[in-house]
C-alpha cells in the first residue's frame, strides 16, 4: 500500500459526494481492508502508538491517526493518551 494512496483518503471522501454508488461501495471496501490490516497489527502487538503503526505500514502519521480515530469511534479499538 503506498503512501500516496492513503494520503488521498481525505480527497476521496470529498469526491465521494460526486461519485456513483458503485464507486462509493468500492471505496468503502478498500477502507475496510485497510482497517482490517491495522486491526490485525494492533491485536498482534496489543499496545502500539501511531508512529509505530505508520512506520510498519509505511504511511503518513496523519493517515494512521485518521484511521485510528475512525476505529475508536466505531468501538473497534480503545485509545489512550499519555504524556510524551
19 within 8 A of 11, measured Cβ to Cβ: no
Q: Tens of pLDDT along 54-69?
A: 999 888 899 899 889 9
Residue at grid coordinates 489512550: 80
pTM above 0.85, yes or no: no
Q: Tens of pLDDT along 7-66?
A: 555 565 666 566 788 888 888 888 889 889 999 999 999 888 999 999 998 888 998 998
Give the model's pLDDT for residue 79: 83
Give the model's pLDDT for residue 12: 59
- Torsion angle, CA of 32/56/6/23, rounded to 10 degrees? -30
Long-range contacts formed by 71-80: CB under 8 A, 24+ apart: 71/35, 71/38, 71/39, 76/35, 76/39, 77/39, 77/42
Amino acid at each position: 500500500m503506498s503512501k500516496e494512496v492513503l494520503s488521498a483518503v481525505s480527497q476521496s471522501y470529498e469526491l465521494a459526494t460526486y461519485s456513483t454508488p458503485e464507486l462509493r461501495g468500492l471505496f468503502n471496501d478498500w477502507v475496510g481492508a485497510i482497517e482490517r490490516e491495522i486491526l490485525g497489527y494492533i491485536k498482534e502487538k496489543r499496545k502500539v502508538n501511531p508512529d509505530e503503526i505508520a512506520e510498519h505500514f509505511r504511511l503518513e502519521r496523519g493517515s494512521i491517526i485518521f484511521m485510528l480515530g475512525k476505529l475508536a469511534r466505531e468501538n473497534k479499538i480503545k485509545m489512550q493518551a499519555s504524556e510524551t
